[in-house]
């Protein structure tokens, strides 16, 4: 995963309004995500008639991740948290006395905080296809914006492990000329991941050929 901006358009070339829009979500986005695969992040409402995304920093151009990644991470959290709470409760009972039972509040509080954090981190991930580059935004406390010029893409890889396939998600990994500047988009639906892979590959080849 790339945390730094890739070579090409630097941070000074990104409008301030675009950074401000990174924390915003298009109206109704959360509802659309749960309404089915034909709505939500797979549609760009404000696109030009020629099919290219408008380069204006419009929050409606950002695509957010489907809920599969959030469900996967919260399921893994429960698999860890539930046994931790049970073991803590058994140890507290074995030690005797009601004050020891308060120890169970520690894993419960940690699990609750992690549950909320997973939701916030999931909402922070978004991406936007522009005419000359791909934008990837993430981060809650520290927001990061990765700009990937199409002409610098060398490989677009789609992977999905057993758990990811069970939850119906895949990951798109972008490899560029700089080995330390790769970027990824996690938790996409397989159809969207395949579409994005084909689109980015086609645009990368076109830019490399100088078209």
CATH topology of domain 1-21+58-63+127-211: PH-domain like (2.30.29)
The tokens for 151 are 């002409």
* Closest residue by Cα to residue 132 from 48, 52, 12: 52
Q: Is the pLDDT at 170 greater than 90, yes or no?
A: yes
Express as a percent the part of the chain with pLDDT over 70: 66
Question: Which range among 22-36, 71-85, 95-109, 115-129 shows the weakest confidence by mean pLDDT?
Answer: 22-36
Q: Residue 91: what pLDDT?
A: 84
Least confident of 91-105, 114-128, 134-148, 183-197: 91-105
Count of C-beta atoms within a 10 Å radius of residue 192: 21
- C-alpha dist (Å) from residue 142 to 3, 22, 66, 121, 137: 11, 11, 22, 11, 11
The mean of the pLDDT values for the chain is 74
Domain boundaries along the sequence of the chain: 1-21+58-63+127-211, 70-118
Asked if 169 and 160 count as a contact pair (C-beta separation under 8 A), the reply is yes
With 50 as the cut, is the pLDDT of residue 32 above it? no
The pair of structure tokens assigned to 176 is: 């560029």
- What is the rounded CA–CA span in Å between residue 141 and residue 206? 37
Q: What is the pLDDT of residues 64-99, one digit of tens each?
A: 899 999 999 999 999 999 999 988 888 887 877 667
- pLDDT at position 18: 42
The pTM assigned to this predicted structure is 0.65
Q: Find out whether 1 and 182 touch, Cβ atoms under 8 Å.
A: yes
What pLDDT sits at residue 116?
Answer: 96
pLDDT of residue 95: 78
pLDDT tens readout for residues 183-197: 889 999 999 999 999
More confident residue, 16 or 177: 177
Burial state string for 54-76 with b = 16 or more CB within 10 A and e = fewer than 16: eeebbbbbbbbbbbbbbbbbbee
> What pLDDT is stored for residue 205 in this prediction?
84
């Amino acid at each position: 995963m790339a945390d730094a901006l890739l070579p090409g358009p630097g941070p000074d070339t990104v409008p301030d309004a675009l950074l401000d829009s990174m924390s915003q979500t298009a109206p109704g986005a959360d509802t659309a995500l749960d309404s089915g695969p034909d709505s939500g992040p797979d549609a760009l409402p404000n696109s030009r008639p020629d099919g290219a995304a408008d380069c204006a920093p419009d929050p409606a151009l950002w695509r957010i991740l489907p809920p599969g990644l959030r469900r996967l991470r919260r399921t893994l959290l429960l698999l860890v948290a539930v046994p931790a709470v049970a073991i803590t409760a058994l140890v507290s009972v074995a030690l005797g006395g009601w004050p020891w039972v308060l120890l169970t509040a520690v894993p419960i509080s940690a699990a609750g905080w992690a549950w909320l954090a997973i939701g916030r981190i999931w909402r922070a991930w978004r991406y936007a296809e522009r005419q000359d580059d791909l934008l990837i935004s993430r981060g809650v406390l520290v927001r990061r914006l990765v700009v990937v010029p199409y002409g610098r893409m060398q490989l677009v890889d789609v992977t999905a492990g057993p758990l990811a396939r069970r939850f119906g998600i895949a990951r798109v990994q972008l490899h560029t000329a700089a080995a330390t500047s790769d970027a990824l988009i996690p938790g996409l639906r397989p159809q969207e991941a395949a579409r994005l892979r084909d689109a980015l590959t086609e645009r990368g080849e076109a830019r490399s050929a100088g078209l």
